[in-house]
Amino acid sequence: MMALQRINSLLVLLLLTLLGLGLGQPSFNPDRMYQRFLRQHVDPRETGGNDSYCNLMMQRRKMTSYQCKRFNTFIHEDIWNIRSICSTANIQCKNGQMNCHEGVVKVTDCKETGGSRAPNCRYRAAASTRRVVIACEGNPEVPVHFDK
């Protein structure tokens, strides 16, 4: 009985040590977040979209597979121009973090019209040149989240 208590104590101690080292928690991976950002928000070949553009791109970029993503923005700039936004002054993100940066880029905002069902979601497009805020992480810093 005493040996069983000792083993349990050692297992609990081992578990706490692993959690303290972060091995029991999912790790933040800036590269995976960067790839997701590219898939969801970057389309350098276009200069501005219409409703058909949004309907096609939202489906093609896998944002309508299970449910209709209500709103998404595509940035129509070279990735190096977008990455250069990460070198501007830090500003506060919507979540309170201080890893956001802002810049002016060409975009197409796609807003779900309502009433459509996945995977055949329908969107209304609005093309413009406007200020955007993106979160950046890593070394070197890369965009990982479109904030607004």
Q: Hey, which residues are catalytic here?
A: 41, 145
Residue 141 one-letter amino acid = E
Yes or no: say if 110 and 54 are a contact pair by the CB < 8 Å rule.
yes
- Segments of the chain assigned E as strands: 71-75, 100-112, 123-137, 142-146
Give CA–CA dist 36/93, Å, rounded. 18
Residue 68's nearest CA partner among 125, 114, 107 is 114
Cα torsion angle, 63, 31, 141, 100, sign: positive
Distances (CA, A) of 37 to 34, 40, 52, 94, 102: 5, 5, 22, 17, 15
